[in-house]
Structure 1
Amino acid sequence: MSTPSQNGQSACGMVGGCVHQLRLFFIALQFFTRLPIPRWVGYEPMWLQHASRYYPLVGMVVAAVTGGVYFVSALVLPAAVAAVLSTIAGVYLTGAFHEDGFADVCDGFGGGYTRERILEIMKDSRVGAYGAIGIGLLLLLKCAALAHLPIPAAVAALLIAHPLSRMFSAALIWQLDYAKDEGKAKPLAQSMSGTEFLIAVLTACLALVVVGFAGWLSWWAILAGVAAGCASTAWLARFFVQRIGGFTGDCLGAVQQVAEVMIYLGVLATMRGMVS
Structure 2
Amino acid sequence: MLNSFRLALSFLTILPVYKKMASTEELARSVSYYPLIGLLLGLLSAGINFMLHRLGLTMAADVLAIVTMIVLTGGLHLDGLMDTADGLLSGKNRERKLEIMKDSRVGAMGVLAVSIVLLLKMAFLYELTFDLKVTTLVLAPVAGRWAMVYAITRFPYARAGGGLGNVLKQAGPMQIIVASVTLVVTCISLFGLQGFVIIGAILVAAMMITGTINKCLGGMTGDTYGATGELIEIWSIFVILMGQQTGIL
> What TM-score comes out, normalization by structure 1 length?
0.84
The count of aligned residue pairs is 245
For residues 162-220 of structure 1, give each alpha carbon's deviation from its aligned partner in whole angstroms, at most 9, with x where no partner exists: 1122111111111100001233423212x12212211111122221132135xxxxx43
1:132 CA displacement: 0.4
Map 1:232-247 → 2, pairs under 5 A? 232-247=205-220
User: Could you tell me which of 203, 217, 232 is aligned with 1:259?
Assistant: 232
Report if aligned partners of 1:162, 1:260 keep a CA contact under 8 Å in 2: yes
Aligned match of 2:201: 228
What root-mean-square deviation, in Å, do the aligned CA atoms of Structure 1 and Structure 2 show?
1.6
1:167 equivalent in alignment to 2:156: no
For residues 98-146 of structure 1, give each alpha carbon's deviation from its aligned partner in whole angstroms, at most 9, with x where no partner exists: 1111111110111142111110010011111000011001000011111
State the identity as a percent: 29
Report if aligned partners of 2:35, 2:183 keep a CA contact under 8 Å in 1: yes
1:157 equivalent in alignment to 2:136: yes
1:233 CA displacement: 1.4
Give the unaligned 5+ runs of structure 1. 1-20, 214-218
Give the unaligned 5+ runs of structure 2. none
Report if aligned partners of 1:225, 1:265 keep a CA contact under 8 Å in 2: no
1:141 equivalent in alignment to 2:154: no
Aligned match of 1:45: 23
Map 1:66-215 → 2, pairs under 5 A? 66-180=45-159, 181-189=161-169, 191-213=170-192
The SS at the match of 1:272 is helix
CA distance in 1, matches of 2:94, 2:127: 39
Aligned match of 1:58: 37
The SS at the match of 1:271 is helix
Which one-letter code corresponds to 2:143 in the other structure?
A: L
Which one-letter code corresponds to 1:138 in the other structure?
A: V
CA distance in 2, matches of 1:234, 1:98: 19
Report if aligned partners of 1:45, 1:187 keep a CA contact under 8 Å in 2: no
Structure number with bigger Rg:
1
Gap change, CA 1:38 and 1:196, over 3 Å in 2: closer
CA distance in 2, matches of 1:59, 1:211: 15
> What TM-score comes out, normalization by structure 2 length?
0.93
The SS at the match of 2:144 is helix
CA distance in 2, matches of 1:79, 1:254: 28
Which one-letter code corresponds to 1:33 in the other structure?
A: T
CA distance in 2, matches of 1:73, 1:126: 36
CA distance in 2, matches of 1:127, 1:38: 30
1:49 CA displacement: 2.2
